[in-house]
Each structure stands twice: as C-alpha cells, then as structure tokens.
Structure 1
Amino acid sequence: MRSGKMRCCSIETRNKIILQKIVGFCQRIKTNLERFNFDYHSFETYYLFQDACCMCVVQIGELVSQLSDDVKRDAPSIPWRAIKDTRNFYVHAYGSIDLPSVWETLVNDIPLPATACEELLSNT
C-alpha cells in the first residue's frame, strides 16, 4: 500500500492541498446529511449513511495530522487535537462508537473546521 502523505511540494502548497481536502470531506458530510434531510433516525437506521460520514471524519482527522504547526497556530479556535483524537477513536473503537455522539459531531462540530479551513484558504 502507498502512503497517503504528500511529499511533492512546498509546505505552503501542501498545506493548501490539505485544507482543500478537509473542506471537501466536510462538504461530503454535509451532502450526506442533506440527502437524508438531517434525519437522525435515518442515520441510526442506515449503516451506509453512518459509514460514509464516519469515513469522512476519519479522513479529516488524518489530514489534520499532516498540517503544519504554522497553519494550526493561525486558527487557534479550531480544536485540531480533538479532531485528530476523534479520528483515532473512530478507527480504533469503531465497533463501540456512540451514534448520538457521532451525530452531534456531524451536525454541530464539522461546520467549524469547514468554515475555518475556507478562511485559511482565502488568506493564502
């Protein structure tokens, strides 16, 4: 398997690519939520909905770990560590995740990094 880490370009370019990918995964979550009309019962019922959203959260957490410390310092309001920790929990304890907590993350927490990353991108 190939590593997903980028080694091809300047740190500024790499950060920009990572931020764009984070925004993209946040948008995928939003699209999934919209597709199911932000209905928790649907989320609770359809494992494909759960899996799609959880995988996006995992990807976001992985990408956050690849951002430079400078970018993280530029957006201190984002709980970067919590995002990475959430990724680790989803990956290592997937069989025991609490669906209501995941739902809260999707609905209430994901918009913050999406907006912050968009702002960071507009400043580059």
Structure 2
Amino acid sequence: MKQNLFMKDDRVYLEHILEAIEKIEKYIKHADDFEDFLKKDMVADAVIRELEIIGEASNNISKKFQDENPDIPWRQIIGIRNTLIHEYFGVNKNVVWETCQYDLKPLKKIVKSLLE
C-alpha cells in the first residue's frame, strides 16, 4: 500500500489538496467561461481560496516526499499560493482560470493515485 511510503502528515496534506481540487471543480461550474468567471466575484474568490489551500498544503508536505514525487510541480504550486496571498491586489485571474482549466485535472489524478 502506498501510504507506507510517506509520513502520516503528508497523507493528510494530500487529502487537503484533493478536497480543495474537488471544491474548485464544483465552484468553477458556476462560470460558463473566462468572461463569466471575471463577473462572478464569489466564484473567483472561492476558487482563489482553495488554490491557496492547495499551495499551503503542498508547502507543508515533507521535502522527502516532494523529492520522491517530482511529477508534481511543487515549487510552482507553492509559488502560486505565495502570489495569491502576498499579491492579492494584483491577482491575475487569467492565470487562476487557466490553472483551473488545465492544471488541476492532472494534479488530481496524481494525488488520487498516491492516496490509493
């Protein structure tokens, strides 16, 4: 079983990542396209919050586990979190939208396989 390959805390953080991705998938359904996403502040705010959680959880995963799983772009995920937290006034919603459209599905697949 794969769970023996990482610390218990790492598993908890992976579960948080998966939960946040699933919430984003639910929230993003309320926006028909990027233009609609821009108009729906509550959807955008909810998505941004969950991306922050993904980044924070990733940042808390052990270095050893990160090194053993280079197929996950840990630095980029953590970097997005840092941008969202520290540059909240200048968040590029196009990047947020693109991340949701193209990056979360492959991340979800990897995280789910690690949790099996």
TM-score scaled by length of structure 1: 0.83
Matched, 1:41 2:35: yes
Displacement, 1:36? Answer: 3.0
Instruction: Tell me if the contact between 1:75 and 1:116 (Cα under 8 Å) persists in the aligned partners.
Output: no
Number of the residue aligned with 1:119: 113
Tell me by how many angstroms 1:94 deviates. 1.1
Instruction: Give, in whole Å, the separation in 1 of the partners of 2:99 and 2:41.
Output: 17
Q: Deviations over 1:3-36 (max 9, x none)?
A: xxxxxxxx72211111111000000011112233
State the Cα deviation string for residues 39-69 of structure 1 (Å, max 9, x = none).
Answer: 2222110110110000000011000011112
Match of 2:91 in 1: 97
SS of alignment partner, residue 35 of structure 1: coil
Alignment partners' CA distance in 2, 1:98 and 1:66: 25
Counting only pairs closer than 5 Å after superposition, residues 7-86 of structure 1 correspond to structure 2 as: 12-37=7-32, 39-86=33-80
Q: Which runs of 5+ in 1 are unaligned?
A: 1-10
Once the two structures are TM-superposed, the CA of residue 115 in structure 1 deviates from its matched residue by 1.3
Cα distance between partner residues in 2 of 1:102 and 1:71: 26
Q: How many percent of aligned residue pairs carry the same amino acid?
A: 25
SS of structure 2 residue aligned to 1:36: coil
- How far apart in 1 are the matches of 2:27 and 2:7? 31
What is the RMSD computed on CA atoms of the aligned residues?
1.4
Between the two proteins, the alignment pairs up a number of residues equal to 111
Secondary structure of the structure 2 residue equivalent to 1:65? helix
* Aligned counterparts of 2:38 and 2:31: Cα–Cα separation in 1: 11
Flag the structure with higher helix content.
2
